[in-house]
């Protein structure tokens, strides 16, 4: 690509798209003012890793010379020596003034000009990161911090993105099993979605702050890599397979589904379906059958993501067990389909180390582990209330207090049920509520949906 083609056109679009909206709100704002805003965005990401390479500075010079006279005829060395970009990284840590103006106007007028700013600014940020052969961790973290800052400001005043999201999610499947899932050949692949829509759903999950951060870093890296491919630049390829560790019910399956959609949105996989399985879906009881079962399951996941729950169980057993055969077959198929298959292996932390060590090829193929912590009592209560809302039940304050006491009384340790425990408690409470309401001759709508303190199961006798 010619010099300036990476940043030049999107900088021009930023200026052309936002100048009219800003000028309507403040007639003193000029095209040059908006160009300076774009410069600040770009400069803050160039400075994220403090390197200021010649490639980055050359792009900055060509892109902004039409508005900034001091860049005309400048060389990268001159810009670097001037210190023009030094300390710019911190600029993105506070809301940009022009963005604040647009957010305030959107709140008053019901417009969405701040969303246009957001999309144009994030494109510039990702493009700056794509100028490096491999973006630094600081750049990826800054991408997420800048995104969260802008989205949070819009969310606080009720400016919604131009897509529709479903109801808030609890962050866990509530204990749904992981029986082997075969995708019917006639099934349509999931529709590709805007990555921002999927990330918004991720953000709505209860808890999981560390998990969300890791997933967003993965998404940022993939977006930068996609931009480099689109420009014909080399990409430092790495394994996209992941290990999820944590107790049951901590949201591993939910996050795996969202990751499959993110991978699809960013063209990592062509279809984006999630196929769930476990040891029983991969291991047979007779010689020669295990490899066949593994191939069938992997084939159903090609073009998407394969989630293997309790993957450590494959590495257990004696010489007569076929779990090792399943692992060896899986490793070969992961290599054969490295461009159109992502595998996520899930299970307890210590046991997953045994799984990764069970085949020399596994550790290099699973370089990244994401740990899912147990939910706090507050988060468990929030998940319970979310289930109530989704199912159109209204718990009283006394009922919520009883739910909290119930969770606080549960022993915590390895195998703590988390979201599955919440699902069981919710279903038990609904059943007890039904037994109470059925005795009412003509229950009102309020009585039909109310969960009261007596509907919450009593605490264990030992407490």
Q: What is the pLDDT of residues 100-119, one digit of tens each?
A: 999 999 999 988 899 999 99
What three-state secondary structure class fits 371? strand
Q: Is the pLDDT of residue 356 over 90?
A: no
> Quick one: pLDDT at residue 9?
92
Helix (H, G, I), strand (E, B) or coil at 29: coil
Query: Which segments of 287-348 does DSSP mark as H helices, in order?
Result: 289-301, 323-336
| CA-wise closest residue to 246 among 349, 151, 328, 321 | 349
Give the pLDDT mean for 407-427: 89
Annotate 384-421 with DSSP letters as a single string.
HHHHHHHTT-EE-HHHHHHHHHHHHTS--STT--THHH
At 76-90, the pLDDT tens digits run 999 999 999 999 999
What is the secondary structure of 238-285 as a DSSP string?
Answer: ----EEEEE-TTSSHHHHHHHHHHHHHHTTSSSS--EEEE-HHHH--S
**Helical (H) or strand (E) element with 306:** strand 305-308
- Nearest CA to 269 among 234, 240, 311, 309? 240
Q: Assess whether pLDDT exceeds 80 at residue 190.
A: no
Per-residue pLDDT band for 320 (boundaries 50, 70, 90) equals: low
Q: Which pLDDT score, from 0 to 100, does residue 147 have?
A: 93
Give the per-residue pLDDT at 252.
Answer: 92
Over the stretch 40-75, which tens digit does the pLDDT of each residue have?
A: 999 999 999 888 999 899 999 999 999 999 999 999
Token digits of residue 81: 């020596």
CB 409 within 8 A of CB 459: yes
Adjacent-strand bridge partners of 450:
394
Mean pLDDT of 195-204: 90
Residue 415 has pLDDT above 80, yes or no: no
Rounded Cα gap, residues 299 and 295, in angstroms:
6
Position 376 pLDDT exceeds 60 = yes
Tell me, yes or no, if the pTM score tops 0.85: no
Cβ–Cβ under 8 Å, residues 118 and 102: no
pLDDT band at 317; cut points 50, 70, 90:
low
156-169 pLDDT per residue, tens? 888 887 765 544 44
| Token pair listed for 171 | 């962050």
Question: What's the pLDDT band for 1 if we cut at 50, 70, 90?
Answer: low
The residue length of the chain stands at: 463
Rounded to whole angstroms, the Cα distance separating 333 from 345 reads 15
Structure tokens at 181: 């899932």
pLDDT of amino acid 361: 81
Q: Would the pLDDT of 189 be above 60?
A: no
Residue range 379-397: average pLDDT? 94
Distance of alpha carbon 444 from alpha carbon 461, whole angstroms: 34
Q: What is the pLDDT of residue 42?
A: 95
Q: Give the C-alpha separation, 194 to 192, whole Å.
A: 7
Task: Judge contact between 349 and 245, C-beta under 8 A.
Answer: yes
Mean pLDDT of the chain: 87
**Is residue 385 within 8 Å of 395, Cβ to Cβ?**
yes
DSSP bridge partners of 244: 346, 370
pLDDT of residue 178: 36
Stronger pLDDT, 319 or 28, i.e. the higher one: 28
The sign of the dihedral angle between the CA atoms of 439, 405, 211, 153 is: positive
Res 318 pLDDT > 60: no
pLDDT value of position 179 = 37
Q: How many CA atoms lie within 13 Å of 308's alpha carbon, on the beta-carbon side?
A: 28
């Amino acid at each position: 690509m010619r010099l300036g083609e990476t940043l030049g056109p999107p900088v021009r679009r930023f200026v052309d798209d936002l100048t009219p909206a800003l000028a309507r709100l403040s007639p003193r704002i000029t095209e040059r003012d908006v160009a300076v805003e774009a410069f600040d965005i770009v400069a803050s990401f160039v400075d994220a890793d403090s390197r200021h390479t010649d490639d980055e500075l050359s792009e900055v010079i060509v892109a902004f010379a039409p508005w900034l006279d001091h860049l005309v005829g400048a060389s990268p060395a001159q810009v670097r020596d001037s210190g023009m970009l030094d300390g710019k990284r911190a600029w993105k840590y506070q809301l940009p003034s022009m963005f604040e103006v647009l957010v305030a106007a959107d709140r008053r007028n019901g417009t969405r000009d701040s969303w246009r700013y957001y999309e144009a600014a994030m494109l510039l940020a990702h493009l700056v990161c794509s100028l490096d052969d491999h973006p630094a961790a600081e750049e990826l973290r800054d991408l997420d911090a800048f995104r969260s800052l802008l989205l949070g400001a819009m969310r606080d005043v009720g400016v919604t993105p131009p897509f529709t999201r479903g109801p808030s999610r609890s962050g866990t499947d509530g204990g749904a099993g992981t029986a082997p899932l075969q995708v019917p050949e006639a099934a349509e692949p999931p529709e590709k979605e805007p990555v921002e829509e999927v990330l918004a759903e991720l953000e709505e999950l209860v808890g999981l702050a560390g998990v969300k951060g890791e997933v967003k870093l993965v998404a940022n890296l993939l977006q930068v890599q996609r931009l480099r491919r689109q420009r014909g630049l080399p990409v430092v390829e790495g394994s996209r397979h992941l290990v999820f560790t944590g107790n049951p019910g901590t949201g591993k399956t939910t996050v795996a589904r969202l990751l499959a959609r993110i991978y699809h949105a960013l063209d990592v996989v062509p279809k984006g379906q999630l196929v769930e399985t476990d040891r029983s879906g991969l291991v047979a009881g007779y010689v020669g059958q295990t490899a066949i079962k593994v191939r069938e399951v992997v084939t159903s996941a090609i073009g998407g993501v394969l989630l293997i729950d309790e993957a450590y169980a494959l590495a257990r057993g004696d010489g007569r067990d076929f779990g090792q055969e399943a692992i060896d077959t899986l490793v070969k198929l992961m290599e054969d389909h490295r461009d159109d298959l992502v595998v996520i292996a899930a299970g307890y932390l210590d046991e997953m180390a045994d799984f990764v060590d069970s085949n020399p090829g596994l550790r290099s193929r699973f370089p990244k582990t994401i740990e899912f912590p147990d939910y706090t009592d507050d988060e468990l209560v929030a998940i319970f209330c979310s289930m109530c809302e989704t199912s159109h039940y209204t718990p009283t304050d006394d009922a919520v207090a009883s739910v909290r006491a119930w969770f606080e009384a549960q022993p915590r340790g390895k195998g703590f049920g988390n979201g599955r425990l919440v699902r069981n408690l919710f279903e038990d409470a609904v059943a007890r509520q039904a037994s109470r309401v059925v005795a009412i001759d003509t229950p009102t709508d309020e009585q039909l949906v109310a969960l009261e303190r007596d509907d919450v199961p009593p605490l264990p006798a030992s407490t």
